[in-house]
Amino acid sequence: MTNALLAISDEQLATNVLFYALAAGVALSALAVVLSRNIVRTALFLLFTLGGVAGVYFMLNAEFLAAVQLVVYAGGTLILIVFAVMLTSKSPFIRFDPKAIEVVVAAIAGAIMLVALLAGIISTHGPVGTPGAIVRQPLDWGTSQYPVADLGQALLGDYLLPFELASVLLLVVMIGAAFLAKGRRRRAAGEEKA
């Protein structure tokens, strides 16, 4: 059965509904991130934003990207933020109190970003704009044609150099962090002795 008004199939219509529901959730929680003054609540709203974006990735068949989004941002970065807040806060509920000039600068930056994004979206050709174009295509199940396998081949084949550079960078950061932490501890121990 097709919907006569839009001439798209039921599947596409339902997918569109799901997409707009997800998109609305992402947009609303992103607004809440900006408007909320409590920093821990901000982190919670950010969780919804990141999770919603992961949901959109799932609908676009980008399963690996979606899972990485959840692991790295929702499971890693966000928890680091919250952890830092818990360890550094003085009062139980810290609040943001941005100055007027900060609000103006942020609003201008946001407006520029919005214009750039809109221009990019409008000028894009392809599936954007055709309703229901993001219907999830069935994968060729049972064979080795998995996007994850291709991704792995690409990372360790064609893109080996950037991949290794990134991992060396991460290693340097880790060693640096360990050195700094150890140095501070040694200094503290020295002061105690003195």
Partner 1 sequence: MSWAYAIASFPALPLADGFGQTLVFKDFLGLPAAPWWAKLAWDLAIIAGVFGGMLSVIAMFCIWWERKVAGHMQCRFGPNRVGPIGILQSVADGLKLMLKEDLLPRDADKWMFRFAPYVAFTPVFAAYMVLPFGPEFVFERRLAVGVFYILAVLSVEIMGVIMAGWASNNKWAIYGAMREACQMVSYEIPLGISIIVAVMAAGTLNMVDLGNLQGGGIHTWLIFRNPFTFAAFFAYFVASLASNKRAPFDLPESESELVAGFHTEYSGLRFSFFFFAEYAAMFVVGGIQATLFLGAWNDPFGIIGYFHAKFADNHHDIQLLVLNAVASGIFVTKAMAIIFVQMWLRWTLPRPRIDQVLYACVKVLLPLSCCLLLGASLWGLLVGSRPGVPWVDYQPFSWSDWQMTPVALATQVILTLIGLAGLTGIVLWVGYAAVTGRNLKQRLTDPADIIPHAA
Q: Where on the chain is the footprint of partner 1 (CB under 8 A)?
A: 1, 3, 10-15, 17-18, 38, 40-41, 44, 47, 51, 54, 58-59, 63-64, 66-71, 74-76, 78-79, 82-83, 86-87, 92-93, 135-136, 138-139, 141-142, 144, 146-149
CA distance linking residue 175 with residue 120, whole number of Å:
40
**Shortest gap between Cβ of 147 and partner 1 (angstroms)?**
6
The two tokens of residue 187 are: 């200094």
* DSSP β-bridge partners for residue 140: none
Closer residue to partner 1, CB minimum distance, 3 or 130: 3
3 CB-near residues (< 8 Å, 6+ apart): 9, 10, 13
Minimum gap (Å) between residue 150 Cβ and partner 1: 10
CB closer to partner 1 out of 76 and 176: 76
Q: At closest approach, how far in Å is the CB of 190 from partner 1?
A: 22
Q: Which is nearer to partner 1, 26 or 54 (CB)?
A: 54
DSSP 38: B
Tokens found for residue 10: 């039921």
Q: Which residues, in sequence order, are bridge partners of residue 9?
A: 2
Please state the closest distance from residue 123 (CB atom) to partner 1, in A: 28
For 9, the enclosing helix (H) or strand (E) is strand 8-9
Give whichever of 57 and 115 is closer to partner 1, judged by the CB atom.
57
Is residue 67 within 8 Å of residue 51, measured between CB atoms? no
